Structure 1
Amino acid sequence: MQTTYRHRFITGIFCLLACSQALRAQNKVTFHPDAPTQTINRNIYGHFAEHLGNCIYGGFYVGDTSRIPHVNGVRKDIIAALKTLKIPNLRWPGGCFADTYHWKDGIGPKDKRPTIVNTWWGGVTENNSFGTHDFLNMCEELGAEPYLAGNVGSGTVQELADWVQYVNFPGKSPMSDLRQQNGRQQPWKVRYWGVGNEAWGCGGNMRPEYYADVYRKYATFMSGNTFKIASGANSNDYNWTEVLMKNIPLHMLDGLALHHYSIIDWGKKGDAVNFTEEQYFQTMRSTCMMDTLVRKHSAIMDKYDPKKKVALVVDEWGGWYNVQEGTNPGFLFQQNTMRDAMIAGVTLNIFNNHSDRVRMANLAQTINVLQAVILTKGEQLVLTPTYHVMEMYNVHQDATLVPVEVQSNSYTYKGEQLPAVTASASKDKSGATHISLVNIDPAKAQEITVQTGTAYRTISGRILASAKLQDYNSFTQPDKIKPTAFKDAVLKNNTLSVKLPPFSVVVLELK
């Protein structure tokens, strides 16, 4: 009996040690640099500017007579901030607004442009002072590719075909003559075009079979070198993707959109700042769902497009909460906290890791709307936590993906679990490797072992973190949250040891 007890005791000790070691080793990231890979398209880091609330007017555009320093009415400080962000593309004019927008209302002398009512967003008067020339010239100033969303819901085939000719045709034609009369001699050569927006909803409440035929009709008359993007699925509507991929010939289709917001519940979105851990967990669960959505929509696309010609374009993503109290409910203004930094970091890691199919995406939206990267108030400007994450991550743009395998501890709340750690990595043209790491657990630090497979000599990095999940940058404390140097990483041989604080984002550079 004594021997048996001793054997059980020793076995128990070994089991405890093994379990302890297993727990410590659970957070493990392994590089697979020899696996087939692809370029992380810089357009994954795109943005979205809709005629909604104070995104355009009072955001980007303050007008030609403003005392705020500007270039043709566009704020200079915003241009500088977005250049630092390396914004690759910008989607305009919507959104739901796109399918009520008639582009000819926004050209020519500003004092002769007609006014309309923005029926989707706040019922305010739109004076069309910011139109095609203003937007495309701004994109040139930013060094960003314009992504124009065409009006399919209330427009016509002729109207969209004319817009393409107006902005792209270099020779003599009615539309190019009109462009030159309005002061622009050379075309802008706009490549990216959305053929409608949310055709399943505000773009016309269409059935997928009907929209597939509508798309084919519109695409037929969009001449020139255009990258045509179909209005894609709402979140997990896999049937929409199936029908479009089945019924639209591949030679007519360059991109298929997908919209998914990190949202608690459409009926009870919760407050942007004063949220509970339960609400945080629900938001992050919706965020992590993006990986499933990309995988499942991609699998459907692979059936019809095994060579991956058609890009999955996630041209609306981000957090969506109740509007800030006292603001117009149609303006969708919300504050931006460390929760939003978590959304951005996790989502961008997902996009990077699926960059074989996801080759374009647009955060909703750039300024003063939803998960904005910039907030403005008069002459003041605030860079949000989301801005800082996207700036830290821009090292991945056009870099070569380094496939990673992630083994993560769980962030557990009331019996439900999410991966605490997500990661993505890439190698740039100079030979430097970057790895972005996110810990979404609001209470526990995560110790991570990274097996790089390469003997790097130096390591540096930055971290975005704060004292509370609910922290944000305000107009009185604009720099409360900003990246700082990260020192909790140790490089030894082919192994990197990292300790991530709770709810933090880290980007490391290895050379």
Structure 2
Amino acid sequence: MKKWMLLLCACITSHTYAQQAATLSVSDNSNLTINRNIYGHFSEHLGHCIYNGFWVDSSLHVEKQDRIRLDIVKALQKIHIPNLRWPGGCFADEYHWRDGIGPRGSRPKMVNTNWGGVTEDNSFGTHEFLELCELLHCQPYITGNVGSGTVEEMSKWVEYLNFDGVSPMTAQRAANGHAAPWKVQFWGVGNESWGCGGNMTPEYYADQYRRYASFAKNYPGSPLLKIASGPNADDYNWTEVMMKQVPNWMMWGMSLHYYTLAGDWGHKGSATNFDEQTYFSALKSCLHMEDLVRTHSAIMDRYDPAKKVALVVDEWGIWTDVEPGTNPGFLYQQNSLRDALIAATTLNIFNNHCDRVRMANLAQTINVLQALILTDKEKMLLTPTYHVFDLYQVHQDAHYLPVALNSPDYTLGKEKIPAVNASASKDSTGTVHISLVNLDPAHAITVSTQLAGVTYKTISGKVITSAKFNDVNTFDQPNKIVPQDFKGASKKDGNLVVTLPAKSIVVLELK
């Protein structure tokens, strides 16, 4: 009996050890760059993202430029957001840009039929958005109205933005206070045309795209990078039709929208009150992004083997039920350590597919869905997801280093997912950064890493973790989850050995 118990204990110990070990190899043998635009963001006229987010009442006691809230601007400057997508989202296809220019007092109001049925006063329009982007030092990404707009309306908006000559549009722009063109490059031709943007078939939208894109002109010094409305999640037929019917030269990119869900669209689950099964389900849903990117990319490769057309994942993130007591049309949710793990994992996926994924936009920047920032009147807090983007900014425009990972599984019941994911890059100074995520909520995992063609003398790092996977930052406790110095990496027998705490994100710097 005692011998049997010893054997059983030995088996358990062996199993536990296997669950705690991973191997990683990093090589310097690619010619790819991780496009900084993968780290983009999205701000729609939805809830309190624009209004009472970026754009506040003049009586609010915070530092402002005009009505743009500057503590938010400074926080986003710190993480070097590369681009900002606007005005939607579903709102884009009911937005008529001329309503948002000229004296604010005379701008017509409208009903935001997509998000809460609230009145939109159009006080935040084209000039205000582009002033915001100038303050953020980021590229504007504007989505034009295909669903309820006209070809002429979109064409004139491009002219208003980009033409540096004499025309009625440039005269109107100057009269509104901006004589010089903004030279906006990123231009979306509609949004979710399969759904809220018109419920179109891919064949119909492909024809509409060709028509609208033809009249979205490239003015001197302002070539447009046109982005087509691409598939919803795993609608692979949409990608097939678009790549077949639209010439590669007509589009810089094609969008993909996919949201992580812990449940289903009817019952998405709480942002804070969830158990391990819900935690696991959300992570499994997040990891489906890998399958989506691979499969859509394979379809694109058949029509575009040179990979000229970018896959633009311009809406992604976790979508939960709204916080109790808030307007269900405003999509306000809290942001937990779990959500930071989802953000870090997704960014690792994008980094590892930087040959095709060259732009992405987290939904959404402030107070909506997987937000970087939450506000309550004068108060502001940075979410755990914000801190992921802070640590991961080192990958922007860096040389991509391919990784090969052998990860143990994180098992719950009869289901399992890889416990560890990673990506790596080398910046212009030769410094190597490795971002690692341990999804296992209970076990630390040791990763033994071989670095081929990489030399370094020093190792430093930062870690994001917390006691519970549903921990959050609150206005009373805004720094519960913040990056901390990481001391769990060392050089051993020529390898880099890293011990990842349970449910953690680690970014290492090798110099």
**Which range, TM-score by smaller chain?**
over 0.9
Aligned twin of 1:363: 362
Answer whether contact 1:162 1:175 (CA < 8 A) is retained. yes
The answer as to whether partners of 1:62 and 1:68 remain within 8 angstroms in 2 is no
Match of 1:5 in 2: none
Aligned pairs for 1:454-493 within 5 A? 454-492=454-492
**Alignment correspondent of 2:24:** 29
Question: Which residue of 1 is the match for residue 4 of structure 2?
Answer: none
Q: Which amino acid aligns with 1:258?
A: L
Where does residue 417 of structure 2 map in the other structure? 418
Give unpaired runs (5+ residues) of structure 1: 1-11
Per-residue CA deviations over 1:299-337 (Å, capped at 9, x if unaligned) read 000000000000000000000000001000000000000
Corresponding residue of 2:64:
70
8 Å CA contact retained: 2:19, 2:445? no
Deviation digits for residues 156-189 of structure 1 (CA, Å, limit 9, x no counterpart): 0000000000011111111111100100011110
Confirm whether residue 442 of structure 1 aligns to residue 441 of structure 2: yes
Q: Structure 2 vs 1, CA of residues 371 and 241 (structure 1 numbering), >3 Å: closer, same or farther?
A: same
Q: Does structure 2 conserve the Cα–Cα contact (< 8 Å) formed by 1:37 and 1:403?
A: no
CA contact (8 A) 2:464 2:484 kept: yes
Report the Cα offset of residue 25 of structure 1.
8.2
The alpha-carbon deviation at position 271 of structure 1 amounts to: 0.3
Corresponding residue SS for 2:204? helix
In structure 2, which of residues 160, 164, 168 is the aligned counterpart of residue 166 of structure 1? 160
Cα pair distance change 1:106/1:459, threshold 3 Å: same
Q: Say whether 1:352 aligns with 2:346.
A: no
User: Equivalents in 1 of 2:364, 2:180: separation in Å?
Assistant: 30
1:140 alignment partner, one of 131, 134, 156? 134
Quote the Cα distance in structure 2 between the aligned partners of 1:66 and 1:107: 24
Name the amino acid aligned to 2:232.
N
Q: Distance in 2 between matches of 1:430 and 1:455?
A: 13
CA distance in 1 between partners of 2:17 and 2:246 (Å): 50
TM-score with structure 2 setting the length: 0.95
**504 and 125 in structure 1: CA distance in 2 versus 1, 3 angstrom threshold:** same
Q: Do the aligned residues in 2 keep the contact of 1:24 with 1:447 (CA within 8 Å)?
A: no
Question: Which stretch of structure 1 is more off in the superposition, 25-34 or 69-78?
Answer: 25-34
Deviation at 1:276, TM superposition (A): 1.3
Following superposition, which runs of at least 4 residues in structure 1 exceed 2 angstroms of deviation? 15-26, 63-67
Other structure's SS at 1:330 match:
helix
2:115 counterpart residue number: 121
RMSD value, Cα: 1.8
> Are the aligned partners of 1:404 and 1:425 in contact in 2 as well (CA < 8 Å)?
yes
Aligned ranges 1:81-92 → 2 under 5 Å: 81-92=75-86
Q: Distance in 2 between matches of 1:303 and 1:173?
A: 43
Superposition TM-score, scaled by structure 1 size: 0.95
Compute the displacement of 1:267 (Å).
Answer: 1.2
Contact 2:272–2:334 (8 Å) recurs in 1: yes
Q: What does residue 37 of structure 2 align with?
A: 43
Q: Is the 8 A contact 2:20 2:408 kept in 1?
A: no
SS in structure 2 at match of 1:152: coil
Distance 1:114 1:17 in 2: 69
Distance in 2, Cα, partners of 1:109 & 1:476: 39
Q: Percent identity?
A: 59
Please report how far the alpha carbon of residue 493 of structure 1 lies from its aligned counterpart in structure 2 after TM superposition. 5.5
Which stretch has the larger CA shift, 491-500 or 390-399?
491-500
- For 1:309, what is the secondary structure of its paired residue? coil
The secondary structure found in structure 1 opposite 2:315 is strand
Is the 1:456–1:494 Cα contact (8 Å) retained in structure 2? no
Per the alignment, residue 426 of structure 2 pairs with 427
Q: What is the CA distance between 1:19 and its match in structure 2?
A: 6.8
The answer for the alignment partner of 1:397 in structure 2 is 396
Work out whether residues 424 and 435 of structure 1, in 8 Å CA contact, stay in contact via their aligned partners in 2: yes
Q: State the partner residue of 1:292.
A: 291
Aligned pairs, how many?
499
SS in 2 for 1:232: coil
- 1:8-407 alignment, distance < 5 Å: 23=18, 26-34=21-29, 36-224=30-218, 225-263=223-261, 264-407=263-406
- 1:398-455: per-residue Cα shift (whole Å, max 9, x none)? 0000000011000111111100000000000011000000001111111111111234
Q: For residues 245 and 424 of structure 1, what CA distance do their matches in structure 2 show?
A: 29
The 8 Å contact of residues 145 and 190 in structure 2, kept in 1 or not, is answered as yes
